[in-house]
């Protein structure tokens, strides 16, 4: 397992004309994986980023950001089309960086909270399935997979649990579509985080893991069932990446989106430095 960090720890939106210093910074703090949260693809030039990553020997992952207006299940065909175009740009960026994974909740925009009637919910689900099937075909053509992240009930009403995520993967029916599990969301939504990890792996759909504490601060300082998660990852032979995605109020553009109003870590570097050290010991 390689360990890494997500750029949300320090800055948002990521832009290659300003933020390439984070590559060296992440490597110096002990990261092996550099996960780029791409809010605006126009801000990311693959060539200099790929050179910086190669120079430090870091593996890349591309992570999507699905705010309002990015929804592959929206009833408006124009919204679905623009969202698929965004995912396609993430796929091409990943391929240009030598990355084989685009992670994040590509099934819908964050913030959905609607008690939809069953028929509307079913129609929406069908739109999501059709859209993701098309995205998976495109991703496969570029040697990239899509890792879908279940989010907690306060962030979406569409996919909250591994069980729901596996149902979505099964309905899409494409080998390039799997799950991206985040310990923060597992902590909130699963009765047994270890069992959820095993279920995803046994279905052949465990593509990616985010390590995030229950307060979104430093991994290892809170209540996440770390031992159960680590034991499950070892038992299933997980050989993918484990990336820290945590936040601080210092990154104001994302703090509001994740409802983070108070300091949860001494500083951003502590999240990476101590979190990576904790995970290295935990997963050894």
| Residue among 155, 189, 190, 245 flagged as catalytic | 245
245 is known as an active-site residue: yes
Task: Give 183-200 as a DSSP string.
Answer: HHHHHHH-S-HHHHHHHH
- Gap between the Cα atoms of 82 and 68, Å rounded: 12
149 is known as an active-site residue: yes
Q: Cα 76 vs. chain centroid, distance in angstroms?
A: 25
Q: Which residues of 178-190 are buried (b: 16+ CB within 10 A; e: fewer)?
A: bbbbbbbbbbbbb
CA-based nearest residue to 144, from 186, 87, 188, 197:
87
Contact 186, 195 (CB under 8 A): no
| Residue among 32, 35, 124, 149 flagged as catalytic | 149
Give the residue numbers annotated as catalytic, written as ranges. Answer: 149, 245
């Amino acid at each position: 397992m390689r360990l890494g960090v997500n750029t949300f720890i320090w800055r948002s939106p990521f832009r290659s004309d300003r933020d390439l210093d984070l590559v060296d910074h992440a490597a110096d703090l002990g990261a092996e994986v550099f996960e780029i949260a791409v809010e605006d693809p126009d801000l990311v030039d693959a060539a200099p980023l790929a050179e910086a990553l190669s120079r430090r020997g870091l593996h890349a992952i591309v992570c999507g950001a699905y705010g309002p207006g990015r929804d592959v299940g929206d009833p408006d065909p124009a919204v679905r089309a623009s969202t698929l175009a965004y995912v396609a740009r993430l796929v091409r960026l990943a391929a240009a960086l030598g990355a084989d994974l685009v992670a994040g909740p590509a099934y819908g925009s964050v913030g959905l909270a609607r008690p939809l009637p069953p028929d509307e919910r079913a129609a929406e689900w069908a739109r999501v399935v059709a859209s993701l099937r098309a995205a998976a075909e495109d991703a496969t053509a570029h040697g990239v997979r899509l890792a879908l992240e279940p989010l907690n009930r306060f962030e979406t009403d569409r996919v909250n649990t591994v069980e729901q995520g596996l149902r979505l993967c099964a309905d899409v029916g494409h080998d390039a579509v799997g799950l991206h599990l985040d310990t923060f969301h597992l902590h909130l939504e699963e009765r047994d985080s270890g069992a959820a990890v095993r279920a995803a792996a046994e279905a052949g759909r465990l593509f990616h893991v985010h390590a995030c504490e229950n307060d979104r601060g430093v991994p290892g300082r809170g209540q996440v069932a770390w031992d159960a998660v680590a034991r499950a990852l070892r038992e299933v032979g997980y050989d993918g990446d484990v990336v820290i995605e945590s936040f601080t109020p210092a990154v104001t553009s994302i703090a509001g989106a994740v409802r983070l109003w108070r300091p949860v870590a001494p500083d951003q570097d502590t999240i990476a430095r101590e979190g990576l050290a904790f995970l290295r010991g935990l997963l050894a």
